[in-house]
Amino acid sequence: MFELNRHKTASLRADVLSGLTVALALVPEAVAFAFVAHLAPMVGLYAAFIMCFVTAVLGGRPGMISGATGATAVVMVDLVDSHGLNYLLAAVALAGVFQLLAGIFRLGKFIRIVPTPVMVGFVNGLAIVIFLAQLAQFKTKGLDGEMHWIASSDIQLMLGLVLLTMAIIHFLPKLTTAVPSSLVAILVVTGLVVGLDLDTRTVVDFLRNMSGDANATIAGTLPSFSMPEVPLNWHTLYVVLPYALILASVGLIESLLTLTVVDEMTQTRGQGNRECLGQGTGNLISGFFGAMGGCAMIGQSMININSGGRGRLSGITAAVALLCFILFAASFIEMIPLAALVGVMMMVVLGTFEWASFKMMRKVPKHDAFVIILVTIVTVFTDLAIAVFTGVIVSALVFAWEHAKHIEARRTDDNGKTLYQLKGPLFFGSTSSFLELFHAEADSDEVIIDFGRSRVCDHSALEAIDTLAERYLKLGKKLHLQHLSEDCKKLLTKAGDLVEIDMVTDPTYRVADDKLA
């Protein structure tokens, strides 16, 4: 059932005020990411509204905020430059279809295989990325089209306002939690800048500088439905399919990892598969309403959670407020100083970075510390999807290597029989060690291998058992296998009569093998 306020500690008032705070922070982010993708500002603003609203209503994580993001924007640049906006909209819609399929086939559960070191590296990397993104607010586009630092006096004023914003956010909750401290900080700093007529950059200054249009504004109309104007043929599919797959995977990875982070912060559990459906629906709608799509935004999600937003109403309020800004209140939003929004995001950086990881890396195994650093660096210099895949692959290889060394056997001879009591997992990484445990020439004519304290994990393990059976067959010796699972027995087809499997209290665990699919 749909509930506006699902979290037990949430309140409608907190959700509404938190949503307003998020909406204010969404404006420059959406505009900036639109420019990253070489698109018009309204394409980013429409995406922020659509993604935020749809995922707030349909997504699997109340309190999480979605919108146009840098992770997806960087993927779009080449397609926009080479084929234009309409091909991008087609790719975004197709990415939404892929994400819907991921939800339908319940692929969201695979986020559980992401190890903790990868998660720590992910949040640390994103914190650094958010920090670096704020440095762009201290730069201006010159006549040569390059970004240059603003005057030192302007930087000093902005830094002072940023520190004031951060101080309000930090200290106000010690006095009262009646209103979100981030919202109060934005209003106070804006009032100070307007009241004292301080010459500092505002939202509209940023927009006009980046667009090169002295009359640029965030004022606009409602997004309208239109089919992407692309030919419906195989060539179009050939062009947009690779981008759609990348957008879908990057969007889902960032969204599901953000969902996990928010789960830990709120001590609740979101629904990964439902979030896939929400993200897919949002991107599908974006493609037909002239928006660039997107995914979950960890920065804005942290603002929302820290401001008290826990229920779906917080995301809905943020989306509706953003639309109202575009339609009715553009002139008011445009006067907000960038320093206030930078200060809010800097507090997000401080809250997002896992500072305990420095102490953690001295206590955890060296390979886990390496994964944390690796994922952090790859996140900063490439993108989230590559970072997570890299971290998972490295973690899996390390896991396989470490467990490959944990297989052993106890050998005893009694009454003309040799008994091997196996201990440890038998899988692709440990098959070589497994075969080295046995001394076929020195064993009795009858050999028993007890798998009671071992597990046959994959088809490589079965091949190793077959290889061992052939060794004993060539020596004219009989091999018995005890405590094998029923699945393992069925998969030992290649061994045929080479081995005798004793039907003794065999376990019922399943073997991971394609033949069982």
Q: Is the pLDDT of residue 371 over 90?
A: yes
Is 105 inside any structural domain?
Answer: yes
CATH number of the domain residue 492 falls in: 3.30.750.24
3-state SS string for 462-494: HHHHHHHHHHHHHCCCEEEEECCCHHHHHHCCC
Token pair in block for residue 394 = 């490295």
Residue with tokens 């399929």: 101
Token pair in block for residue 316 = 């809905």
Kindly give the interhelix angle for 85-104 and 234-266, rounded to the nearest 10 degrees: 60
Q: Is the pLDDT of residue 490 over 70?
A: no
- With a pLDDT cut of 90, the percent of the chain lying above it is 53
- Read off the pLDDT band of 437 (50, 70, 90): very high
Helix (H/G/I), strand (E/B), else coil: 114: coil
Closest CA to 20 of 185, 221, 267, 262: 185
C-alpha 220/C-alpha 202 separation (Å) is 19
**Of 403, 419, 437, which closes a domain?**
403
Per residue in 53-103, pLDDT tens? Answer: 999 999 999 999 999 988 898 889 899 999 999 999 999 999 999 999 999
Same domain? For 173 and 205 the reply is yes
Token pair in block for residue 116 = 């903790």
What is the average per-residue pLDDT within 499-507? Answer: 51
Same domain? For 373 and 441 the reply is no
Residue 91: the pLDDT is 97
**Of 326, 358, 390, which closes a domain?**
358
Same domain? For 339 and 286 the reply is yes
Same domain? For 351 and 448 the reply is no
Same domain? For 318 and 427 the reply is no
Q: Is the pLDDT of residue 188 over 90?
A: yes
Q: How many CB atoms lie within 10 A of CB 193?
A: 21
Among positive and negative, which fits the CA dihedral 91, 97, 101, 107? positive
Same domain? For 440 and 338 the reply is no
Q: Is the pLDDT of residue 176 over 90?
A: no
Say how many domains are in the chain: 3
Is 2 inside any structural domain?
Answer: no
C-alpha 422/C-alpha 435 separation (Å) is 12
Is 177 inside any structural domain?
Answer: yes
Q: Which helix (H) or strand (E) holds 326?
A: helix 312-327
Is 364 inside any structural domain?
Answer: yes
- Read off the pLDDT band of 291 (50, 70, 90): very high
Token pair in block for residue 255 = 């969204």
What is the average per-residue pLDDT within 152-179? Answer: 93
Average per-residue pLDDT for the chain: 88
Q: Is the pLDDT of residue 514 over 70?
A: no
C-alpha 411/C-alpha 443 separation (Å) is 10
Token pair in block for residue 190 = 């804006």
C-alpha 367/C-alpha 365 separation (Å) is 6
Is 146 inside any structural domain?
Answer: no
Is 141 inside any structural domain?
Answer: no
Range of the domain at 433: 405-516
Residue with tokens 């065999």: 506
Q: Is the pLDDT of residue 496 over 50?
A: yes
Helix (H/G/I), strand (E/B), else coil: 171: helix
C-alpha 440/C-alpha 496 separation (Å) is 20
Residue 515: the pLDDT is 47
Among 154-168, 329-343, 374-388, 483-497, the range of highest mean pLDDT: 154-168
502: exposed, middle or buried (Cβ count in 10 Å: 0-12, 13-18, 19+)? middle
Same domain? For 486 and 392 the reply is no
Is 277 inside any structural domain?
Answer: yes
What is the average per-residue pLDDT within 422-435? Answer: 91
- With a pLDDT cut of 70, the percent of the chain lying above it is 92
Per residue in 9-61, pLDDT tens? Answer: 458 899 999 999 999 989 988 988 888 888 989 999 999 999 999 999 999 99
**Of 358, 374, 389, which closes a domain?**
358
Same domain? For 90 and 237 the reply is yes
User: What are the C-alpha distances in Å from 202 to residues 51, 222, 509?
Assistant: 25, 24, 63
Residue 33: the pLDDT is 86
Same domain? For 409 and 390 the reply is no
Alpha helices in 59-115 (DSSP H): 70-83, 85-104
Q: Which residue has the higher pLDDT, 437 or 466?
A: 437
Same domain? For 333 and 469 the reply is no
Q: Which residue has the higher pLDDT, 224 or 113?
A: 224
Q: Is the pLDDT of residue 436 over 50?
A: yes
Is 6 inside any structural domain?
Answer: no
Same domain? For 268 and 365 the reply is no
Same domain? For 20 and 122 the reply is yes
Distance from chain centroid for Cα 316: 22
What global pTM score does this model have? 0.78
Q: Is the pLDDT of residue 169 over 90?
A: yes
